[in-house]
Amino acid sequence: MSNLASIQKILWKKEIRGADNIELVGVLGWQVVTKKNQFQIGDLCVYIQIDTVVPDKPEFQFLKERNFRIRTIKLKKELSQGILFKIEEVLHTIDYGKFKEGKDVTTILEIKKYEKPDNNPIKYEKSKMPKIWYKKWIYLLKYNILYKAFPYLRPKTRSPFPTNLVSITDEERIQNIPEILKKYQGKEFIVSYKLDGSSITIIHNKVLGKSRYRICSRRFELHDTKNDWYKVFKETNFENHIVKLVNYYKTNDIIIQGEAIGKFNGNYHNLQRDDIRIFNIYVNGIKLKQNEILDVCKQWNIPVCPLYKKIILNYSLEEILKISDIPDILNPKVPVEGLVWRCIEDNFSFKVINNKYLLKEK
């Protein structure tokens, strides 16, 4: 994923009808509303992406009412996606020459990616207090005394995502890499609906002849069963789908990645029960191409993220954003979150988030 905060160049400016004090400016493939004449074309600035959270510092206090979150908004009927600062406003240094175009300043500014509350397994770190009186006292003894005095005794509920085995799922937004539209022009892409849920990774191997399943959220490997990711894995009997892949490819080394949908993030798709939809399969550490994933999942009735269509990439940024402006396939009453484009030739992928979804999201 690209830098959450970076040094970027102002590429264009545009007046906003009926606005005397604000204007539109362009960085990368984004447009941002700023104060009029705050920037000139060619200026370098600090650009902070949408779906981020800035720290509680003096320079960001005007965002306190928004809980310091940067999100898509509309001003004077114009989309504003992200926020811009002059370099000297937030990077308090006299050595401005070291800040070249494209430099990552995410860590320097302490910018974090926004995580939806239901997407965060940290809430499972501490189990709920029991209602039975003696169990309540045991609970208080463990968490308020024993684990504080001897933290190594506390059960390990999660660990960092196992990136040594598989990458974290996070396609880049097309606005961050607009040059791709020219580089991949004329290439065929499989375009799938992006589902609103929580990323799930299931790693399968065998230990002493028995199947072992490792369940991961987007950022962590989860070691207990008291979480929604493990529950959806069990409730959907997803082991059966993994076994199909194990038998078909004649290997125990199978990793699948998909979207856990349903209660995750408020049941945006209005489903009757939680579900998992696949978008990546790894066999012996090698990521399968999308054509093969669609074929094998269709053959063995394994649920995948719904296919939108196959498309030859030959669109401008404005046109490709318009393509994603469609209803959700599972719940047509709401706008789709977006579309994910995956190149048939080399598996390169990017996402196009529907701006109507971003404006609707709270």
- The DSSP call for residue 90 is H
Per-residue HEC secondary structure of 294-338 comes to: HHHHHHCCCCECCEEEEEECCCCHHHHHHHCCCECCCCCCCECCE
Tokens representing 319 are 């046109």
Q: Which amino acid would we find at residue 130?
A: P
Q: What is the pLDDT of residue 138?
A: 79
Cα distances from 317 to residues 41, 77, 242, 260, 314, in angstroms, run: 20, 19, 38, 29, 10
Query: How much is the pLDDT for 129?
Result: 74
| DSSP letter (8 states) at residue 55 | -
C-beta separation of 207 from 252 below 8 A: no
User: How far does the chain reach from its first CA to its final CA, in angstroms?
Assistant: 23
> Stretch 348-359: mean pLDDT, rounded?
93
Q: Please, which pLDDT band fits residue 149 given cuts at 50, 70 and 90?
A: confident
312 vs 97, 199, 305, 317, CA distance in Å? 42, 27, 20, 14
pLDDT in tens, 6-31: 999 999 999 998 888 999 999 999 99
DSSP for 232-254 reads HHHHTTTHHHHHHHHHHHT-S-E
pLDDT at 130 over 80: no
pLDDT, residue 1, reads 53
pLDDT in tens, 163-220: 999 999 888 999 999 999 999 999 999 999 999 999 999 999 988 878 899 999 988 8
Q: Could you read off the pLDDT of 300-352 as tens digits, one per residue?
A: 999 999 999 999 999 999 999 999 999 999 999 999 999 999 999 999 999 99
Positions of CATH 3.30.470.30 in the chain: 172-360
Pick the CATH number of 5-113 from 2.40.160, 3.40.50, 1.10.20, 2.40.50: 2.40.50
Output the pTM of the full model: 0.84
pLDDT value for 211: 86
Domain 172-360, CATH among 3.40.50.410, 2.120.10.30, 3.30.470.30, 3.90.1150.10? 3.30.470.30
Q: Are 275 and 303 in contact (CB under 8 A)?
A: yes
| The pLDDT of residue 309 | 95
What are the Cα distances from residue 244, in Å, to 21, 208, 298? 61, 20, 12
Q: What is the pLDDT of residues 281-309, one digit of tens each?
A: 999 999 999 999 999 999 999 999 999 99
